[in-house]
Structure 1
Amino acid sequence: MNNLQRACLHVLIWALILILFVYISSRSGNLGNAVVIFLYFGLINITVFYINYLYILPRFLNSRRYLGCAVSILLLIMSSAVIKYAVASFFREIVLIRGPNRDYYVTFWEYIIVASVTGAFFVFISTAFKFAGDWFLNEKVRKNLENEKLTAELAFLKSQINPHFLFNSLNNIYSLAYQRSEKTPAAILKLSEIMRYMLQDSNEPTVPLEREIRYLQNYIELQKLRFKDGAFVNFSYSGVDERMQIIPLILIAFVENCFKHGIVTDEAIPLDIKLQVRASELIFEVNNKKNLQNKDVLGGIGLSNVKRRLELSYPGRYELTIENGGLIYYCKLILHL
């Protein structure tokens, strides 16, 4: 909402309030009296509201000149009371006359006290409005800064993944090229598809789950090219809807860990990867044979990176279970999409 729209909204609200009070008052008395009491004096009170809201509070409170602020507010209240009395003097028979028989006129100081209380009320309302507006503005700024911080942190975590994966993949392709393997062109093609996804699609906050699955398939196929005697990998998925979204590159660490620290050449205990979607719940399970000579199961940036990204992107909406006993390494991730 720009300044003009905000000003029009304020004018409309005050106009509706004044019209409502004039209408209510005119039903039990004279319309002219109601217009004088609520329109003229209402405009003075509204002026007090905005002088305090737009001038006194920003000028003195922002610079922490509290004494000057208090003195200015006091002068505003007193001067508005005097102005009201001057206006009331022109409508003496309407505003100043009191009593059951309308035979008593309010004195100057009696009127000043009542008018000062009214002015103080509008000063209080404008001060509360100012503090409430500043609080909401500061809260909005705080949330924006927090979101920017989270975005920057997520970008940093994602940037850790790319060089880490690229380094491992290039090593694999180098080995194939050094051996003059016929698998080298296929490996380069798979790597190019993977890098296209990592450099383009993964820049979005979320991606279609189907693309993430395709990325995992490419990665698995690329890794299988490393093994001369073959790698035994079962990858299955079900319940995937084209509308489902997920943050990119969140599942790769678990799969990469299996190839890096597990054994995938045992046909009796293959690497088993399952992805299931039930309603809005994604269940991702990885089960593989451990390499007992490798003590690092999911170390370095792997596990801490994944956990941090999950905390930032799915706070309170994920469950991560890791079982690392005996010969089998088992990992289960549940995401509430």
Structure 2
Amino acid sequence: MKPIEVLSTKEEVRLHAFLWLFLIYARYVHLDYNAPYLVTFTDFSLFNNTFVIIFVTVFYFHYLCIMPRVMQKFTWKRVFLGLLAAYVFFTLIRAIIEQVITVWIWGLQNYFPGTPAWFYITDNIYFSMIPIAMATITYIIIHLIRSLQLNKIIQEQKNDAELRFLKSQINPHFIFNTLNNIYSLVYRKSDKALPAIDKLSQLMRYMTYETEHNNVELQKEINYIQDFIDLEKMRIAGEVQLKLAIDIENPNLLIPPLLLLPFIENGFKHGLLTETEHPFTILITQKGNRLELYTQNKSNKYNKDKTSGIGLTNIRKRLDLQFPTKHNLTITEEENIFTCKLSIEL
């Protein structure tokens, strides 16, 4: 299963760097519209520079300290208290830098001596809104990106886990049927018993090693189906009436393993296979990126059990997960004739 990877810290730093480059450009770069190729850097005044320092400090205070706590358990009370804390922090930092430090070093202060406290408080409500709003928007955007990525990855992992489960269901289901067949051959002391066991071991190798991959070569899947058919024909008394036609352009085309088998297995398990007027028909065609399977058999109404349909139900789920909009499956049963038509765009 793939590890969960969302927006990394390095990528987040890049987004912040882009943001600060834009702000520096907006704050300091001046374009002369009379001479559009002339770029000048302006307004390096003391209080413009101190405001930039205050802006960055408050931005990251709100981004790193306030927003994570607000988003951890969102309530409007937390939002209000977070905004209030950021505003108080902005006001205190600005007072310390522009009313104390600048006076101590340069003998200058941003607000005139005797400025009323109410004016200072209300004036800073406006100025504090800029870094607080930008920090909030930036955090929400990055949080949303991470949430969308995480949801997508979790869904992919959920689908992957479900596909693995569905493939694990196919193997025991097939083995159960095949062992029953071999048991029948052994019970009848048939000469086909040992070849059947050898065929089963070959199929088990395929199921053990190839089905661990998400995709296998189409030719390998065809070979597996042909071995499966040979194994099934061994256990059936009488001559199997089978019409098999395979027409593939690209044997190296990749498909999910065990994708076609359930339809063929279903025909062997529930069909009447010895009637010459109703042969078990299997047609596999591949042209370009389109793979088509057609099966038709006469149903054996006396050969139904409680597990009937497990394979087809399984494959429907797999198709919905792996080819949600790129497959068409039609299954019909009319006058005891069971027909499956599958078309997949790979």
TM-score interval for Structure 1 and Structure 2 normalised by the shorter chain: 0.7 to 0.9
Q: Equivalent of 1:71, from 64, 71, 84? A: 84
- Post-superposition Cα deviations, 1:169-221, rounded to whole Å, max 9, x if no partner, equal 11111222233322222211211111111122112222222222111111101
> After alignment, is 41-50 or 54-63 more displaced?
54-63
> How many angstroms apart in 2 are the aligned matches of 1:244 and 1:133?
40
Mapping for residues 65-104 of structure 1, pairs under 5 Å: 66=78, 67-83=80-96, 85-86=98-99, 90=106
- Shift in CA distance, 61/335, structure 1 to aligned 2, threshold 3 Å: closer
Q: Corresponding residue for 2:64?
A: 54
Q: Is the 8 A contact 2:185 2:235 kept in 1?
A: yes
Question: CA shift at 1:3, angstroms?
Answer: 3.7
Q: Corresponding residue for 1:325?
A: 334
Q: Give unpaired runs (5+ residues) of structure 1.
A: 98-104
RMSD: 3.4
Q: Corresponding residue for 1:10?
A: 16
Q: Equivalent of 1:140, from 141, 149, 157? A: 149
Question: CA shift at 1:152, angstroms?
Answer: 2.0
Mapping for residues 1-337 of structure 1, pairs under 5 Å: 3=9, 6-7=12-13, 10-11=16-17, 13-15=19-21, 17-19=23-25, 21-24=27-30, 33-34=43-44, 36=46, 39-64=49-74, 66=78, 67-83=80-96, 85-86=98-99, 90=106, 115-294=124-303, 299-337=308-346
Q: Is the 8 A contact 2:28 2:43 kept in 1?
A: no
Question: CA shift at 1:284, angstroms?
Answer: 0.6
Alignment-mate amino acid for residue 33 of structure 1? D
> How many angstroms apart in 1 are the aligned matches of 2:42 and 2:177?
87
- Shift in CA distance, 22/127, structure 1 to aligned 2, threshold 3 Å: same
Q: Is the 8 A contact 1:257 1:298 kept in 2?
A: no
Q: Percent of pairs identical after alignment?
A: 32
- Post-superposition Cα deviations, 1:285-335, rounded to whole Å, max 9, x if no partner, equal 001122243467993413221211111111122111112011422110111
Alignment-mate amino acid for residue 276 of structure 1? T
Q: Structure 2 length normalisation: TM-score?
A: 0.81
Question: CA shift at 1:6, angstroms?
Answer: 4.3
Higher relative contact order (CA 8 A, sep 6+): 2
Question: CA shift at 1:252, angstroms?
Answer: 1.3
Alignment-mate amino acid for residue 245 of structure 1? L
> After alignment, is 243-252 or 26-35 more displaced?
26-35
Alignment-mate amino acid for residue 56 of structure 1? I
Q: Is the 8 A contact 2:50 2:98 kept in 1?
A: no
> How many angstroms apart in 2 are the aligned matches of 1:19 and 1:244?
52
Three-state SS of the structure 1 residue aligned to 2:219 is helix
Q: Is the 8 A contact 2:102 2:108 kept in 1?
A: yes
Q: Corresponding residue for 2:4?
A: none
Count matched residues.
329
- Shift in CA distance, 25/56, structure 1 to aligned 2, threshold 3 Å: farther
Q: Corresponding residue for 2:3?
A: none
Q: Give unpaired runs (5+ residues) of structure 2.
A: 1-6
> How many angstroms apart in 2 are the aligned matches of 1:229 and 1:8?
72
